[in-house]
Amino acid sequence: MEQGLELEGYNPDLHHDLAVAFRIRVGESEQEIPFHQHRKGQLILALHGGIACEVEQGVWMVPPQYAVWLPGGLAHSNRATAQARLCFLFIEPGAVKLPETCCTLKVSPLVRELILTLAERRKTQSDTGETARLVQVLFDELPRQPVEQLQLPVSRHPKIRVMVEALAARPDDRRTLAAWAAQFAMSERNLARLVVKETGLNFRRWRQQLQLIVALRLLINGQQVTQVAQALGYDSTTAFITMFKKALGQTPGRYLRDTQALSSFS
């Protein structure tokens, strides 16, 4: 039986297994685990639906085909979409060389199946020698997974937080930087500098990244490409498709076909 989003009976800080995997099934409504941290590193693999992970300096959206890597000791929160199917992989610190900061990884079919098999082995308590060999193959492959830029840089600055919350609630909001500056009673130049200082991106690129994350969530939840383009305030579906392909290397339609194919095997 698959676990809920919170793992009853398993505390990553109390166990020293090199790697432990759990399959997760979310119920009929979105679920969230508030900010927490644990000693082990955590890889969250999306099988169906999606999950958003927030750390102090960013929000990571994890659609199917991808996983988010959270190094041990990093405070984070998790928010999963309704009926999402996920897999949590906890890794002992130092067991495998992975990035030292939170990031999104594009997971190969081999790594995906290794993680799922490890989750099944945990339930059936298969031969520990076989499991150890499986973990070693997984550890050989994990460092080869490419890092993808699917995060939204944020900060604790109140003006940035206001913009994040407003644009997440209304992704079709096309207010210019000048309009935002007027709202905050500051100059456009100073707001532009603040956005770059706090996020590392200019305003246009930062808003586009937020829209990409929102688009992935809407597509995962079953909306059509034309509906998503309208929800994001694009004048044409073609313009939205161009943005999406530039960011992820494939059209929304192709992306959906690939993720649905993967989901059918999970």
Q: Does residue 222 sit in the same domain as residue 248?
A: yes
Number of domains, the chain: 2
Please indicate, yes or no, if residue 7 is contained in any of the structural domains.
no
How far is the C-alpha of 193 from the C-alpha of 157, rounded, in Å? Answer: 13
Say yes or no to pLDDT of 148 above 80: yes
Q: Tokens for 65, please give them.
A: 């085909």
pLDDT (tens digit per residue) in 174-197: 999 999 999 999 999 999 999 999
pLDDT score at 17: 86
Asked whether residue 46 falls in the same domain as residue 71, the answer is yes
Both 144 and 162 in one domain: the answer is: no
Q: Which residue has the tokens 């927030």?
A: 54
Distances (CA, A) of 15 to 9, 18, 93: 11, 9, 12
Residue 12 located in a structural domain: no
Q: Are 221 and 257 in contact (CB under 8 A)?
A: no
Residue in the block written with tokens 């067991």? 95
Evaluate whether residue 212 is within a structural domain.
yes
Rounded mean pLDDT, 148-176: 89
Digit-coded pLDDT (tens) for 223-238: 899 999 999 999 999 9
How far is Cα 148 from Cα 196, in angstroms, rounded to an integer? 21
Question: What is the amino acid identity at position 62?
Answer: V
Of 133, 148, 163, which closes a domain? 148
Rounded to the nearest 5°, which phi and psi values hold at 140?
-70, -35
Choose the final residue of a domain: 115, 148, 181. Answer: 148
Final residue belonging to a domain, choices 148, 175, 202: 148
89 vs 82: CA distance, rounded Å: 20
Residue range(s) defining the domain that contains residue 29 = 19-148
Q: Which CATH number goes with the domain that contains 131?
A: 2.60.120.280
**Residue 246 falls within a domain, yes or no?**
yes
- What is the pLDDT of the chain when averaged over all its residues? 88
Amino acid 1: pLDDT: 40
Residues 198 and 233 in one domain: yes
Q: How confident is the model at residue 214 (pLDDT cuts 50, 70, 90)?
A: confident
| Residue 16 burial class via C-beta count within 10 angstroms: exposed 0-12, middle 13-18, buried 19 and up | exposed
Phi, psi of 189 (to 5 degrees): -65, -40
Across the beta sheet with 76-80, the strand order is 31-36, 76-80, 51-55, 58-62, 151-153
CATH code for the domain in which residue 251 is found = 1.10.10.60
Asked if residue 122 and residue 26 are part of one domain, the reply reads yes
